Amino acid sequence: MSQSEFDLIQTHFMRAVENRDDVVLGIGDDGAVLKCPEVQELIVSIDTLVAGVHFPEPTAPQDIAHKALAVNLSDLAAMGATPAWVTLSLTLPDADEAWVSAFCTGFFALADQHQVQLVGGDTTRGPLSVTVQAHGFVPRGQALRRDGAHAGDLIFVTGELGLGGWGLAAVTQRLPPEHQRLDHTRAIAHLNRPEPRLAVGEQLRGIASACIDLSDGLAGDLRHILERSQVGAVIDAEKIPLPSMYCLQGDRQQALEYALFAGDDYELCFTVPEEKLGQLSPDHWLFSTCWSIGRMTDEPGLRIKTYAPQGRSEIHTLARSGYTHFNSAG
């Protein structure tokens, strides 16, 4: 049976137990009342996911909810922030109680995992879309930014890159015939349920000179750091961590293309000055989760080092960027 907007909020979004002492007043009023620590800075991020653009129409509501929250927490991770609160704006074609119940299951599972509280939002009728605004804290002056990289800094990434691209190609049935025989279960799971690298982001405070999360592909997102920091970069194609299954059973060149341009990975890309590499020593847990893939340069632009079959290396300019919502021809 269809419910009204207020019935949906009361039934599914107002929880009997709230998990944060810094929430004075949460859902149920015209606004939330929240307490900010005096020695912290507030980091705010907002993202919208639209059906048919950010996720295929048949995607399960639990997965939509997880991803909508995860991409915002990934932004906080890239700033070195510890998450605290979120607001949610949910636009639905109709008040489908079963759909909303499943959505909330996915949303609150991830929120509870990171001690994040939903403190307000809105529901309305229209084409399916989800907007989440996330709030987190970082010690004063320690936020990670995009404009702090310098020539000579090493470039690192977390996780295997390109899984999101493989997953999207699989669920939209856009894989070439030679790749259709492969098992894409892990890639689809990564596409639908990315895990924000919050612990890594917090550990990078005072170590990383710049940081960004990889939502639109390594090439496009790293270029944002280059532009804001006014530097260039050379990355090594052989050092980019690619999903081993696709490299061994599939096509390494296609795997590299997805890592550079496909997006939907939500890993972190960050730079570290050489003098601070000691803080990423082999006995530090960060060392086993991050890969060094290149170095910042004085020469502008993004270039990639590739290798011929005989082992000879070449450096090429990467003119192509990552995923964009709009283009000049639009």
Strands 210-213 and 117-125 turn out to be unpaired
Residue 320's pLDDT is 74
- Residue 328 predicted with pLDDT over 50: no
| Domain spans in the chain, listed from the N-terminal domain onward | 5-139, 154-317
pLDDT-based confidence at 12, cuts 50/70/90?
low
Q: Give the chain's mean pLDDT.
A: 89
Task: Quote the pLDDT of residue 326.
Answer: 40
Q: What is the C-alpha to C-alpha distance for residues 111 and 89, in angstroms, rounded to an integer?
A: 16
pLDDT digits 0-9 by tens, 222-242: 999 999 999 999 999 999 999
Report the CATH superfamily, name and number, of domain 5-139: PurM-like, N-terminal domain (3.30.1330.10)
Q: Does residue 59 register a pLDDT over 50?
A: yes
pLDDT in tens, 142-189: 999 999 999 999 999 999 999 999 999 999 988 888 888 888 999 999
**In the prediction, which pLDDT does 233 show?**
98
pLDDT for 215 beyond 80: yes
Q: What is the mean pLDDT of residues 189-199?
A: 96
Place of tokens 């000049």: 328
pLDDT confidence bin for 8, thresholds 50/70/90: low
- What is the arithmetic mean of pLDDT over 40-55? 94
- Mean pLDDT calculated for residue range 253-266: 94
C-alpha–C-alpha distance, residues 286 and 278, integer Å: 12
User: pLDDT band for position 28 (50/70/90)?
Assistant: confident
What top-level class would CATH report for the domain 154-317?
Answer: alpha beta
Distance CA 34, CA 12 (A): 22
Alpha helices in the chain (DSSP H): 5-8, 61-78, 97-113, 163-171, 185-192, 198-203, 218-229, 244-249, 252-261
How confident is the model at residue 330, as a pLDDT?
A: 35
| Number of Cβ within a 10 Å radius of residue 220 | 21
Reported confidence tier of residue 11, pLDDT bands at 50, 70, 90: low
Mean pLDDT across the stretch 288-305?
94
